[in-house]
Chain A
Amino acid sequence: MILEQKTLSKIDQSIDRAFLDFMIMLIGYDILSEDDKQKAAALGLVQINKPLVEALYGIARSRSVEAQRRPIKLRDLISLAGLTTLLPITSDTQAYTIEHAKREFYDTLINSRDELKKRTRQAALKTNDEYHKLQIANAPKVKQESIIGLIGLSAGIISTVTANFTRSATVALTNLINNSAADEAETSVMILGAKKEEIKVYKRVINDGKLCGWCSSFYTNKDGSPKIYTMQELAANGTNDGRPKSEWKPVLGSTHPRCRCQLHYLNPRDSDPK
């Protein structure tokens, strides 16, 4: 056998370290499982900055009224997010949205990590098999370099793991953005003295030829203007996660995988969006 267990263990450790580093950057140390926390501690990985998800939560809230948005770069928003304080909101709601987002990203990253380990091991078994056949066939001197070409992270493994991560991460990010907008709506509208059940929201779709039929019918009128819902209506529909397509409904969060329809709330002082 050319690739022994100790080599595969070293590869697993490299994968663990890389993913833990990324997880701490994105979602923070506290949400990790006890096992992952111990691994991170053993590797000397520490939390230096606020997790990116928390900064994005604050930014998404501040960007949730379309009419008030001004062009600004994300890096500048991230700087501002560190300086500004969020509008008051019940701490339970805010904590829930952030916690939910962290868990969604964590699940996505655990799945990606496990998929990468599994595919790498499969490639290792295939490599050992090929090497064994070459030896038996008494082939000319087997160059180990060519064996290494069979494994490592092949382009196929990278593209598959990336595609799966992107799909799930888009769901998590869309949910974070839309739930943040909903949190902001609750706070702002209540400050204005309106009733919670009167909060009006809509979703902005991007009609670039790839818009799917579900989102088009859920969120746009025939003239292309956004459909207005009350936040209560969309919240009552729950999540489409786990539902067959025939049972999909308009929801606050991500309508389906790869959905980027963005929730906005309607400030009572603004006219209906076009």
Chain B
Amino acid sequence: MKIKVELGQGESLADAEELMEKALKAKAECDHGERYSDDAMNEAHTLICARFNGLLNNLQTEIEEILRDDTGTKNS
């Protein structure tokens, strides 16, 4: 199968590849119930994912600080 892709302004081939990969993955995986039958295990799942989200959010702040310090940008 061939797929023709037209890039929008400012879009790169890497962007298109990422979008296609995401679309194909979504198609390939099952939709499934979002819960375990045991609420305690649902809490465990939420706990682990929430802590991971917290890790990323804290990293975002830390990385922006590094960038501001190293590029000499002051907070406005």
- Residue A34 is within 8 A (CB to CB) of chain B in the complex: no
Tell me whether B71 and A260 are in contact (CB under 8 A).
no
Given contacts A72-B40, A148-B67, contact A260 B30 (CB under 8 A): no
Tell me whether B38 and A63 are in contact (CB under 8 A).
yes
* Bound Cα distance A10, B64 (Å): 11
Taking A153-B60, A257-B29 as known contacts, 6 extra A-B pairs with beta carbons closer than 8 A to each other, sorted by chain A number, are A11-B63, A14-B63, A14-B66, A22-B51, A77-B40, A210-B34
Q: How many B residues have CB within 8 A of the partner chain?
A: 41
* Bound Cα distance A129, B5 (Å): 24
Chain A, interface size category, equals 35 or more
Tell me whether A212 and B32 are in contact (CB under 8 A).
yes
**For residue B9, which residues in chain A have a CB less than 8 angstroms away from its CB?**
none
* Bound Cα distance A18, B57 (Å): 11
Tell me whether B33 and A73 are in contact (CB under 8 A).
no
Which of A82-90, A165-173, A187-195 forms contacts with chain B? A165-173
**Complex partner residue of A177 from B34, B36, B66, CB under 8 angstroms:** B36
- Residue A256 is within 8 A (CB to CB) of chain B in the complex: yes
**For residue A161, which residues in chain B have a CB less than 8 angstroms away from its CB?**
56
